[in-house]
Amino acid sequence: MIDIFKAMKAKKKRAVDPDAPPRPNLMTHDVKLRSAEQQIEHQGMVIAQMQNRLNNLEAKLKAQNDYMSMLHSHLTKR
């Protein structure tokens, strides 16, 4: 019977060093990680869109260069 009361007795709190930094809060770490992951995912999507646009513009430039080259060669033959 004595052991039951001993288990229910409140434990003494540890002495806290007033100069120690605050203990980490795992919830804020989780929020920061989730936010960072969302930013990384967003940046990945932006990079993919930019790469697609760059490829399209390069193809357009190549087509224009080919057209101008063909037009130039046609005009110089006359």
Question: Can you tell me the mean pLDDT for 48-76?
Answer: 97
Separation between Cα atoms, residue 2 and residue 20, nearest integer Å = 38
1 pLDDT tier (thresholds 50, 70, 90)? low
pTM for the predicted model, two decimal places: 0.57
pLDDT tens per residue, range 19-61: 888 777 778 888 889 999 999 999 999 999 999 999 999 999 9
Residue 2: pLDDT over 70 = no
Complete DSSP assignment for 23-74: PP-HHHHHHHHHHHHHHHHHHHHHHHHHHHHHHHHHHHHHHHHHHHHHHHHH
